[in-house]
Amino acid sequence: MVAAAVRTIQTDGIAALTLRGVGASLGVSRTALYRHFADKRALLDAVAAEGFRTLKASLDDAWTAASPGPRRMDAMGLAYVRFALEHPSHYRVMFSGDGAGAVKDDRATQAFQVLVDAIAAQQKAGHMRRDDPHQLALYIWSVVHGVAMLALDGRLPPTVDAMDLAALANERLRTGIKA
């Protein structure tokens, strides 16, 4: 069900996500979805939860794979933007604003925690200034989220590659918060 929803969002955009459509693509009545989800929001929350789960995994992998050193966090920053570019439908739903469901927030917090932990590690290793890790994490999150959203909303000039901007952003970001 969630998979079917993601599929339609991917091909036709989030606005085209309709319970009737999801039902039809599953060969089932529209109202049948109400046996599994309270309403449309609940379906979207499930999509968002799945998104935050795979985002967390991506960040974890990037951090683990990166070799230690002052540039280690760059890998996570790039992985974040890459996730948004490769899963635009998930990403859009994850930050669709409105209200924040409980599940959604839970998963989001876990993904955020990966960032906070990485910051603490870099500080301990003497690679990053010892500001409050939570505040620093919010700042870093803002940077990569900003790059991701501008790219997804088609706000970057056609000549600019989103991942190039992400690389530049990570470079400047690191310079600004180094120890």
What DSSP letter does each residue of 91-126 carry, written as one string? HHHHT--S---HHHHHHHHHHHHHHHHHHHHHHHTT
What does the per-residue mask of binding to DNA show for 25-64, with x meaning CB under 7 A? ---xxxxx-xxx--xxx-----------------------
Compare residues 27 and 154 and give the one whose CB is closer to its own copies: 154
Which residues within the stretch 70-99 sit at the binding site for its own copies (CB under 8 A)?
A: 92, 95-99
Distance, CA of 71 to CA of 153 (rounded, Å): 29
Told to check if 42 binds its own copies by CB under 8 A, we report no
- 167 Cα distance to chain centroid: 17
Site for its own copies contains 48 (CB under 8 A): no
By CB under 8 A, residue 154 contacts its own copies: yes
Kindly state the smallest distance separating residue 98's Cβ from DNA, in Å: 12
DSSP 34: G
Q: Which residue has the tokens 């998104």?
A: 51
C-alpha distances in Å from residue 62, one per residue of 151, 165, 170: 21, 18, 14
Say how far apart CA 25 and CA 5 lie, in whole Å: 9
Stretch that binds its own copies, among 22-30, 39-47, 64-72, 130-138 (CB under 8 A): 130-138
Task: Choose from DNA, its own copies, none: what does 99 bind? Cβ within 5-8 Å by kind.
Answer: its own copies
Which does residue 172 bind out of DNA, its own copies, none, counting CB within 5 to 8 angstroms by kind? its own copies
- Chain contacts with DNA (rule: CB under 7 A): 17-21, 23, 28-32, 34-36, 39-41
